[in-house]
């Protein structure tokens, strides 16, 4: 359970940071990296690889967490791939579990592992953007050689084996870039060792259902450490500045002949083209406060620009007889006209027209159901400022 808990913690941390990365410019990778680490190691059990019991896992011991340590040297070839030479050392200890064979005793085994690993930056592998990230998830797979020595509960010399065994290390972790050259590495490594005496006992044999030579054992090393990336941060090249080209000497030009002053250009008043709209209540032609405010603005523009005139068009909504609506639109136009002339605007400057319900601004014709707000848009008088 300890092994599964540690693996779950590190996998969760790894996946949590996969896409939580700063988007910075692509930087050249530091080619060399050296580091140290320390953590805890424990025996992870035995696996049967025989045909009849293939990959059957068992563990006859209560295994302790023991101090482990390691060093490594890594060569980065790209933003994704690197090769790592690593050493891990620890001592594994444990006591027989309940139900274990009675001949088993507490053990202590020294471990010295030397690996050559491929290391993969999973963020850059899974993303199209390749750059030196502040946080990244890595995975590694390799091959190695492990020196196994039983310090306590030693096996007879006839079955101890060569003491050095081929090993398959598999690891994962998260790296944090603390500065340009310093990284914090937190990870775990599972080592499959081609031996049957890591726990001080040679399981198998007659009566067990499998052979001693068909047992392979594993241990787990979970660690944290610091590494230093060698090399300086590349400097950006200085911008290339071209020397100024000599300017040709200007050729003398004949003095220009005086030109007669241009006739003054006609300036169109700013108010020309503006449209002022006044809205009316249903079946009404009197002006409300909003209408008066709009007409005051119009009257001010007319007074300040005596050269401009007005095109005024009055309308109704579609409700009611068309003949009645035509007269109603005339009354609305007259209300606006009377108000403007009362402000000193000559009626000769205003061309007033009435259209009744013939020029609706929306779909609200006879027989079409519309809201009051939609009908209101048609009850209007529009004035266009012209020259």
DSSP output for 161-180:
TTSEEEEEEEEEEEEEE-SS
Helix 289-304 to helix 322-342 angle, to the nearest 10 degrees?
Answer: 50
**pLDDT above 90: percentage of residues in the chain:** 49
* Higher pLDDT among residues 307 and 140, named by residue: 140
Q: What is the pLDDT of residues 123-177, one digit of tens each?
A: 888 888 888 888 999 999 999 999 988 887 766 655 555 668 899 999 999 999 8
CA atoms within 13 A of residue 90's CA, in its CB half-sphere: 25
Please report the pLDDT score of residue 213 as a whole number: 63
The residue among 104 and 161 whose pLDDT is bigger is 104
Q: What is the pLDDT of residue 101?
A: 78
Judged against a pLDDT cut of 60, whether residue 10 lies above it is answered with: no
Looking at residue 22, its pLDDT comes to 46
- CA torsion angle 158 162 168 170 (round to 10): 80
Would you say the pTM of this structure is higher than 0.85? no
> What pLDDT digit, counting tens, does each position of 243-284 carry?
777 878 777 777 777 888 877 777 788 888 889 999 999 999
Closest to 4 measured CA to CA, from 50, 42, 61: 42
Residue 365 contacts residue 316 (beta carbons within 8 Å): no
pLDDT interval class at 11 (50, 70, 90): low
More confidently predicted of 29 and 71: 71
* pLDDT at residue 221, as a whole number: 95
Domains of the chain: 2-96+105-230 (2.40.160.20), 275-386 (3.30.1330.60)
Residue 358 and residue 330 in contact, taking contact as beta carbons nearer than 8 Å: no
Mean pLDDT over 42-63 rounds to 81
Share of residues in the chain with pLDDT > 70 (%)? 84
């Amino acid at each position: 359970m300890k092994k599964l808990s540690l693996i779950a913690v590190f996998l969760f941390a790894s996946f949590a940071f996969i896409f939580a990365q700063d988007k910075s410019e692509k930087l050249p990778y530091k080619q060399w990296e050296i580091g140290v680490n320390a953590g805890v190691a424990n025996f992870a059990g035995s696996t049967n690889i025989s045909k009849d019991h293939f990959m059957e896992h068992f563990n006859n011991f209560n295994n302790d967490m023991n101090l482990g340590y390691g060093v490594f040297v890594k060569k980065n070839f790209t933003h994704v791939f690197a090769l790592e030479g690593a050493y891990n050392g620890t001592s594994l200890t444990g006591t027989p579990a309940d139900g274990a064979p009675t001949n088993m005793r507490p053990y202590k085994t020294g471990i010295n592992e030397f690996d050559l690993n491929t290391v993969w930056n999973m963020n850059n592998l899974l993303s199209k953007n390749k750059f030196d990230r502040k946080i990244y998830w890595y995975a590694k797979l390799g091959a190695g050689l492990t020196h196994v020595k039983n310090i306590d509960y030693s096996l007879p010399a006839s079955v101890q084996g060569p003491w050095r065994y081929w090993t398959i290390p598999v690891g994962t972790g998260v790296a944090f870039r603390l500065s340009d050259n310093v990284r914090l590495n937190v990870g775990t490594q599972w080592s499959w060792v081609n031996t049957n005496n890591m726990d001080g006992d040679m399981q198998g044999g007659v009566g067990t259902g499998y052979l001693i030579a068909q047992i392979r054992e594993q241990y787990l090393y979970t660690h944290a450490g610091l590494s230093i990336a060698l090399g300086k941060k590349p400097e950006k090249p200085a911008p290339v500045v071209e020397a100024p080209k000599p300017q040709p000497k200007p050729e003398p030009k004949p003095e220009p002949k005086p030109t007669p002053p241009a006739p003054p250009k006609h300036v169109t008043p700013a108010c020309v083209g503006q449209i002022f709209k006044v809205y009316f209540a249903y079946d009404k032609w009197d002006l409300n406060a909003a209408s008066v405010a709009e007409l005051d603005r119009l009257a001010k523009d007319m007074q300040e620009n005596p050269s401009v005139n007005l095109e005024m068009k009055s309308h109704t909504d579609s409700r009611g007889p068309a003949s009645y609506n035509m007269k109603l639109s005339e009354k609305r136009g007259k209300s606006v006209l009377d108000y403007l002339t009362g402000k000193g605007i000559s009626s000769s400057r205003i061309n007033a027209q009435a259209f009744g319900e013939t020029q609706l601004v929306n779909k609200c014709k006879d027989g079409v159901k519309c809201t009051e707000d939609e009908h209101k848009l048609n009850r209007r008088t529009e004035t266009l400022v012209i020259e």
